[in-house]
Structures are given as structure tokens and as C-alpha cells.
Structure 1
């Protein structure tokens, strides 16, 4: 139930240079083509290609003089951040398998299998990765070597994805303020998706308090815009519960939102049953075939079963002090575990993006609006 399963960002508005004039038609056409190719790569789970396409589109906009916080950049930044996040996840899985393989003495064999599974269709890049890894093993321990490997660690892409999505968040919030909340439903939904992905990234990097803040923000928006039977709303409750379980709020707070997710999926199941029986239907169910409705009911029913098991586990487990914050407290000599703020916003995202593959486009200057920049944990 990740943010990847939810609604994508709205289509970009026409890009304009900082002086208000539209960018040249040929540049606009290039951006549109790259955006379409990038979205296709996302749909096909070709994360590396999706990163490259969206980075190139943003670079063209920058060269054409498009303002760093122009509304046309929000969907591009959203998709770019999502691609970076998914790429980091895929690389994290490969690296984990390689570590296991090293322990069993089957590095080459497992590396080949992992490469085929994750980077299928990217033969040239597989070769680059394997060559680079081989050199790293031969020169292990040499001073100054292995620097390029550091640049390609998933942690770098997670951090870059967070910063990129945070700028998209800022743009959407500005646009909502300009239009008024009642006239900006699509922008509000896109903002909720930004928050969900920000929460996902913070969970992956074990910044659970920050994840809770982001998931709560997404949930607040979706609660205002979606019906109680919405799968997207139920999923947001569940995502929040997973983060809460790993904070000082602990299991009781997580249980509340798992129950809310269960109630939402039960409402959805009843909604689908009524549509199958021909009693009432909703707009989305009306577009489904009979077979699709049956599949939807089966899927939701399985999710209900999973959530009921999760609730039983949470109720049966003893209430205990949060292990994560407790361990950090111990290591820091009893210092409180309050959320810390960065010294300031990251103004240049270029250094956060996979430098080995390509130069990233110059990042939007979030420092222009420090009052709106959200601190990261």
C-alpha cells in the first residue's frame, strides 16, 4: 500500500520563462516528449530511464529560463522524485542480495541473477555496474578509491528524492494558496501524493517521526476530499499506522489507524457487492466490467483479512517502550529524542542526484521561500 499505487500528479501547466513569456515551441515540445517517455518508463518500472527523462526535461526548462518555482515544474518534480525513490528501492534490494551472496561465497552468481531481475532491459548499465563493482573489489582498501560507488548508494537517491519532492510540495502549496482550497482539488490531491512519497522515503531512511508528519498531512487532505470507502484513504491510514508503530506513539496509536483502514476497506467491499448485485454503483465501479468488479472484491477481501490479522497482532503484543527511540536515547547518553531541524534548506539538488550517470538539472531554489520550507528530521 505505497504511494506508488495512488493517483499520479496532475498534468503540467504551460511553462513560462521568468519574465512571463512562454518558452520556445521547440523546447516545450521536447519537454512534453520527455515527460511522456518518462511517465511510460515509470509505468513499465524502468526507473533508471524514468530518472533520465525527467531530469532532461527539467534541464531544458532551466535552460529556457523557467522560474525555479514555476507551477509547470511541480508534476515534473513529482515524477522525478518518485523515479529516484523507486530506483533507490530497487538498488537497495540488489545491494542486499549481494551482501548475502558475499557471506556465502557466491557473489558472481547471485549478482548476475539480481542484475537480470532488477535492471532487465538496461544491458549497457548492467555492464557498467558490474565493471565498477569488480574494480572496487580489486582495489578494496586503497586510499582514494571507490569514490564513485559512494555516489551511487541508494541513500543518495533517497535523499535526492526527498529534496525534489519537497520542492514539488512547496509549489503545490503555493498554487493552492493562490487559487483557494475550494478551487484547487487536483492540486490538493497532488500535494497529498507528495506527502505520501515523502513519508515513504522517511520510513526507508528510518526517520519515522518525519514520516508520521508527512503521512498525517496526506491523510488530512484525503479525508477532506475522498469518501470513507476510498481505497486511497484506507491505504493512507495504513501507511500512517506503520510509521506510528515505530515511534514513541507505539502500538496503541498504530492500532487506531489500522482499524480505520479496515473500516474503509470493509466499506469498499460492501460498495462493490452492491454494484455487482445491480443495486447501486459509483463512478469508478460503473466503468468496470463484471469481471473487474469481481476481481476488485476479491482483492479488497484479501486486504481485509490481512488487516484483521494485523489488528490481532497489535492487540496481543505487550505495550513496550519504543525500541528505536530508546536505543538512540541510550547511545546519546539520555538526550531527548525530539525532532531536530536542519541548519537550513538544501538549495542545490544537483549534488544529491546520481552524479555517475548524468548531471542533474539545477534544483529549484527553495531558499527563495524559507518560510515555506519544511524542516527534515
Structure 2
């Protein structure tokens, strides 16, 4: 386990806070990184009296990345912890009730009901649906907090947007940083379930990366993979398949490039092994997307058939119910002229005029 980074949140040294924040980010101590980088950005804005000064681009980028990492970390922890905590609390309540009451089952039910009420209260407070929570939300709204307070992902998007604007102004010299920021913006939108925006930002970042790096770049391979995930989440299966396959091609090109270098160092061999370990997972993604596509087509076809059957007019049903040998409904009625030989002869005479 990596050691936590100690951050002095009262420090007035913006450069030192930036260094601490970057170190914490790479050590995946996102909470410490957010504290350090939030403070650093606050100090830098005050120093330059401008929230879009070019020196703020780096701190904004790492601040946004750290907020994204923290949001993912908290979601994963919440998903894992909630069921386990509920089970443990149920067991504890069961033990306590059996010791305090002769009627064990009745006590367990009573304690379980209390536990449910507590959990519901806690949930209501978190979601702002309970009476007390509503009051407290109303009070805090007056102070400009509560419902109006942005989430980590919203703040991440805002600071990354500021970084993007700064890098765009800096021009070609900041192309690499701009591409990186666009891809992270896409990831933030993906986490926020804004899929079109996620895909658009990632595609823009990818196009810049393809111009900067070769056809064996792991950076491009990673972005293609992230784009594939965005497409798959948005049920764009063909695009997802293409993106995952492009990611595979870049990784295979990387292996080929590494193997061509002689002599092969241990570091090169390790990288080849690492990439070879990634390839099966991406191939499985491609297979999954193909299965999802086939299943989606099947469901659409079944739905269309069902709609067609239910929408068929009554007359159509009677027309199609005739025996196959009965073709009377297909034969046109004879014209009256065909019943009169003289009229028929006259009709066949060519006009000489």
C-alpha cells in the first residue's frame, strides 16, 4: 500500500502545493491531491488576478484528473461497502436482540425494522428527501450551498474546460496537453452519462494524438479503447467494434516495433509481455460488442414483426386468408368491349388519320 501524501492545506506556497498535488495524483491518493490542487489553484488565481492565466493550465488539468479519480474511487467504495455494512449490522442487531429479549424472533424483527428506519433516514438525508434534510437543505441554500453545490464531476468539467481554453490559446506548442485534456473531459462526460459530449471530446483529442504520435503509440491505443467504451455505453456497437479493433492494431504495432529493436532489453521484453496481457481483454470486448449487436438486431426484428402483425388492417387478413389455388382476386374483370365482337373489332382497327 502506498503512503498517503501529507498536504498542508494552510500553505501559501502555490508551487509547493502543485508539486504535492501531482505527486498525490500519481500515487492515487486522490483526496490529498484534490486538497492540494484546489488550494494551489485558489492561490494562483489570486496571484495573477485571472482565472485563465497560462500558468494555471497545469494545475487545472491535474485538479480535474484528481476529481475524476476521486469520484470513481468513491463510487467503487460505495458499491462495495453498502451491502457488506448492511449484512454486518443485521448480524449485530440479531445478536443484541437475542441477548436482551426472550422472544428472539420478535426482537430480531423489531431491530430489523429499526435498522431499516435508520437506513431510510440516512438515505433521505443524503438525497435531501427527509423532513430534516429538507429543512437543512433549505437553510443551506440560503447560504449558497446545499442543492446548488456542484459535484466533483461538475467541478472537474469546469476546471478542465478552463485548461482546454488556455491550451487552445497557446497553440501548437500545447497540442499534446490539449489532446490529453480533451480526452479527460470526455471521461468526465462519460462518468456523467453525457455520452454524445464524451464521444465528441474524445474524438477531438484522438485526432490530435494521431498527428503527434506514430502508428505504434500506446497513448493512441488507450484513447481508442476509451472511445470504444464510450461508444459501447451509447449502444453504438459498430463504432465501438471499430475503436476496439483500432486499439488492438496500435498495440500489435507496438509489439512489432519493440521486437525489431536489437538487442531486446529486459524493459522491452516486459513491455511486450504487458501488452500481450492486454490484448485478450480487448478481443473479448470486440466479441461482446458483436454479440450485443446481433442481440439488438434480433430484438429490433422481433419488434418490427410484432408491430406489423398488430397494425395489419382487417381487409388484409381476409385477402391473405384465401386458398393458395384461388387466384380469382388477381384476375382483372373483362371490359365490356370484349363481350361485343363488333366493338372489339372496331377497337382493334388502327387509326389512319
The TM-score range, normalised by the shorter chain, is 0.5 to 0.7
Name the structure 2 match of 1:86. 69
1:278 is aligned to 2:254: no
Structure 1 residue 91: deviation in Å?
A: 1.3
Look up the SS of the partner of 1:310 in the other structure: helix
Name the structure 2 match of 1:31. 14
Equivalent in 280, 288, 307 of residue 305 of structure 1: 280
Structure 1 residue 57: deviation in Å?
A: 1.4
Q: Where does 1:1-377 land on structure 2 (aligned, <5 Å)?
A: 30-101=13-84, 103-106=86-89, 137=122, 141-143=130-132, 144=134, 147=137, 156-176=151-171, 181=172, 184=173, 187-247=174-234, 250-275=236-261, 277-278=262-263, 290-317=265-292, 318=294, 320=296
The alignment's TM-score, normalised by the length of structure 2, stands at 0.63
Give, in whole Å, the separation in 2 of the partners of 1:224 and 1:316.
33
Q: Hey, which of these two has a bigger chunk of helix by percent?
A: 2
Look up the SS of the partner of 1:64 in the other structure: helix
Structure 1 residue 268: deviation in Å?
A: 0.5
Change (3 A) 1:206 1:107: farther
Q: Which has the larger radius of gyration?
A: 2
List runs of 5+ in structure 1 lacking aligned partners: 1-28, 110-132, 280-289, 324-377
Which structure ranks higher in relative contact order (CA pairs < 8 Å, sequence separation ≥ 6)?
A: 1
Change (3 A) 1:195 1:295: same
Backbone CA RMSD of aligned residues: 3.2
List runs of 5+ in structure 2 lacking aligned partners: 1-11, 93-117, 300-353
Look up the SS of the partner of 2:234 in the other structure: coil
Q: Alpha-carbon deviations, 1:227-253, whole Å to 9, x = none?
A: 0000001111111111112225x1111
Look up the SS of the partner of 2:233 in the other structure: coil
Q: Alpha-carbon deviations, 1:71-92, whole Å to 9, x = none?
A: 1110011111111111111111
> Larger deviation: 310-319 or 65-74?
310-319
Give, in whole Å, the separation in 2 of the partners of 1:222 and 1:64.
33
Where do 4+ consecutive residues of structure 1 move more than 4 Å? 145-148
Change (3 A) 1:107 1:188: farther
Structure 1 residue 42: deviation in Å?
A: 1.0
Instruction: Answer whether contact 2:224 2:247 (CA < 8 A) is retained.
Output: yes
Instruction: Answer whether contact 2:232 2:289 (CA < 8 A) is retained.
Output: no
